[in-house]
A and B are shown apart, each in its own frame.
Chain A
Amino acid sequence: MAAEKHILAVLVEDHPGVLNRVVSLMRRRSFNIDSITVGYSEQPGVSRITIVLRGEPYEVEQVSKQLYKLMEVLKVTDLPERESVVHELMMVKVATKGASRAEIMQIVDIYQAKIVDATPTTLMIQAAGGEEKINALLAMLRPFGIRELVRTGPVAMTRGASGTQIKSHAIAAD
């Protein structure tokens, strides 16, 4: 299924167990997720979860509606990828031997990455940016020997002045 990629920004109450509820929901409804990240948002008491998943529009709509059924979920936004900045962070430890060191540093430079730690036999490189850039950098580094790799998975934000805030605080009217 060549389903389209979607990035959901999910604002949730910052409670213990919220991530558990979200992930449990994804599993039980067989929604396939590529990645999920969670952290603080601009509002106190509100966390922001970024979910990258693939699916037909009606499936993603179903994900969104199911998420809304969780009490802790305040807002779900399907971010338009083209109008958003979608970045992740990678840290990678690369083996170095003699001349390769200079070559690696050159690659790091080209990709605007950073060396954040060094030993006589390794370099730790940190890179942030879009998935394609990170993948390309990783491909360049692979031949040198990757000792360790960690990626955060993407976080995303729409460009422009407006944001994905919860417009106001919902209080039951019934």
Chain B
Amino acid sequence: MAVANPKELKSQNGNRTAERVIEVVEEARVLTGAQITCAALEAEGVTTAFGYPGGAVIPFYDAFPTANLHHILVRFEQWAAMAAAAYARVTGQVGVCIATSGPGATNLVTGLADAMLDSVPIVAITGQVIQPLIGRDAFQEVDIQGITLPVTKHNYAVQRIEDIAPTIKEAFHIARSGRPGPVLVDIPKNLFSERAAYSPVEFKGRRGYQPSLVPNMRQVRLAAEMINKAEKPLIMAGHGIMISGGEAEFHEFVEKTGMPVAFTLLGQGCFPESHPQALGLMGMHGHKHVNAALGECDLLVNIGARFDDRATGKIAGFAPKAKVVHVDIDPAEIGKNVRTDVPVVGDAREALKLMLEEVQPRQHSEWRGWIESQRNRVLEAALEDYPEWPEPYTIIKAIRKATNGEAIVTTDVGQHQMWTAQHYGFDYPNRWLTSGGLGTMGYGLPSAVGAKVGRPDLEVWTVVGDGGFQMSFNELATAAQEKLDINVAVINNGYLGMVRQWQDLFHSKNYSEVEILGPDFVKLAEAFGCTGIRVTKHEEIAPAIERARSINGPVVIDFVIEPEANVYPMVPPGASNSDMVHERFDQNEL
């Protein structure tokens, strides 16, 4: 069977067999392993790292005071990884996190998995026990390379001091190129204190790593042909558009082809949601008209998204009338979940540039008119001006209004996440951060920390649930210590709301272990040296938001909401996107 080798040569390298070709580009200086690591990070343009010290990295931390590195001391290593990932998403740079061996390293694992599933470039540096003790179950020894095998794009266990710089060089290249992802570099403690000659290195390539950037022109033409012929085409816009930096090309492509745009959860922001061709969120909690368009389209053009099950619903019912074009830089995504008629393997931006040349200008007014007719006008009108407190949509819309849609908005995981995704209205790329693939509770606050450190010029809000906030509110201390001006909106329903919603809808309201007692979030904020505000009435929403915006430093607003508000619409798990539920229903109606 012919499986195209994505690693086929693009340039020839004669007879060289070394899998890494690293060139020494400068005169050597003698440094400690710790200094070499710092120098190697600096050579990658790293200015900021999120971390937590401990035994195996003490000699590494020894070098920080004299290095050009702003180290941000988090309160839990998992949040170092999340903050680094958020930093990466808002800056376009590789995020860096650091942890000690054993428990420090294992605490990173969830953050690495999160970055893996959301294709975020981070490099994690972990200390390891001294080499003579490796394999002897030494104090704080774990096999972090083995543990993180399936949740990293690649990982390394450094063996020699002279490998530190080349390994870090390669780690950054792998993290940021192709389909980005997390890379872990494990360095034994003794190497940090050893001395060796250091000179900057250059990465020239690795035999087994050849991301395909420029798509095959034949596939591009086939895709364009289908787009030109289609009567009811629909774009499924994913995170890959922003990862590739292809927003401008995408904008042009959308306007030229006249196609309407549905967003995946992470795709939001790649194209202004206020544009007339933007439809909004698709999938499990997508808007009615978006999922209706998916059901009706005759061509689906997926650009830079994997077909995640939260986006597709039941595969058999997904875009049932459509041919599928799939643009993805990762060949393994083609045909993994959804059969594809025309695969275009390559960088989204490169693909868009080429497709732009081949597509014809269209309007698709009739088709777009039909989609508009499918909007849930009753719901939308109700949301526009919902008079009754406490309705969670109102809060999101009020934050949107106050920030003019220009803030970086991050969320935790749960109902509040979906309310935000549905109703903030994302007009700017890389300002919407949420844990998509892994759905990691606790992500909200640390991602706001990472985002604010990365983009101090932008206003940062995080919308969190009372449950998820209790997993990571310790990062208020980090925010206070770093004097970060971030605003935390706690959507406080006293429940693990999303789980309660599923129990409500699919388990006959059997509320098992979802009632969650929280602390007094106002006092909690004050205890951390932050400002706390409580909101219990509709008319308090806007003033509280304005007050939070005017305070320089971390602010927590405790929005006490109706405990049993649900997120609608919803595609029940395992159902087709066309079988959406628009309001409260009981199981018999399923």
Contacts and interface: CB of A to CB of B under 8 A. Distances in A.
A64 B335 CA distance: 13
A61 interface: yes
A20 interface: yes
Contacts, number: 106
Given A45-B19, A65-B331, A69-B332, A172 B1 contact: no
- Dominant SS at the A interface? mixed
A171 B17 contact: no
A58 B335 contact: yes
B149 A13 contact: no
Interface in B1-45: 1, 3, 5-13, 16-17, 19, 21
Contacts of B9: 167-171
Contacts of A42: none
Interface in A27-48: 28, 43-45
B3 A65 contact: yes
Nearest to A45: B17
A87 interface: no
Given A24-B150, A65-B3, A170 B331 contact: no
Interface of A: 6, 12-13, 17, 20-21, 24-25, 28, 43-45, 57-58, 60-62, 64-66, 68-76, 78, 166-174
Contacts of B330: 69
A78 B1 contact: yes
Interface string B335-348: 11000000000000
Nearest to A72: B208
Contacts of A70: 208
B150 A170 contact: no
A68 B5 contact: yes
B181 to A, nearest CB: 10
Residue with the greatest number of chain A CB neighbours at <10 A, chosen from B16, B332, B335: B332
B332 A68 contact: yes
B210 A170 contact: yes
Interface residues of B, number: 40
B537 interface: no
Contacts of B335: 58, 61-62
Interface stretch (B199-207, B255-263, B268-276, B576-584): B199-207
B206 A57 contact: no
Most chain A beta-carbon contacts within 10 A, residue among B154, B209, B210, B334: B209
A172 B208 contact: no
A126 B266 CA distance: 58
Contacts of A13: 19, 207-208
Contacts of A169: 9, 12-13, 16-17, 207
Given A17-B157, A172-B173, 5 more contacts: A44-B17, A62-B335, A68-B331, A75-B5, A169-B16
A76 B211 contact: no
Nearest to B12: A168
Contact of A172 (B3, B157, B205): B205
Interface in B164-214: 173-174, 177, 203-211, 213
B146 interface: yes
Contacts of A64: 3
B360 interface: no
Contacts of A21: 149
A174 to B, nearest CB: 6
A75 B210 CA distance: 12
A132 to B, nearest CB: 23
B495 to A, nearest CB: 34
28 contacts: A13-B207, A20-B146, A21-B149, A24-B149, A28-B150, A45-B17, A60-B1, A61-B335, A65-B332, A68-B331, A69-B330, A70-B208, A71-B174, A72-B208, A74-B7, A74-B208, A76-B3, A76-B5, A168-B12, A169-B12, A169-B13, A169-B17, A169-B207, A170-B205, A170-B207, A171-B11, A171-B21, A173-B210
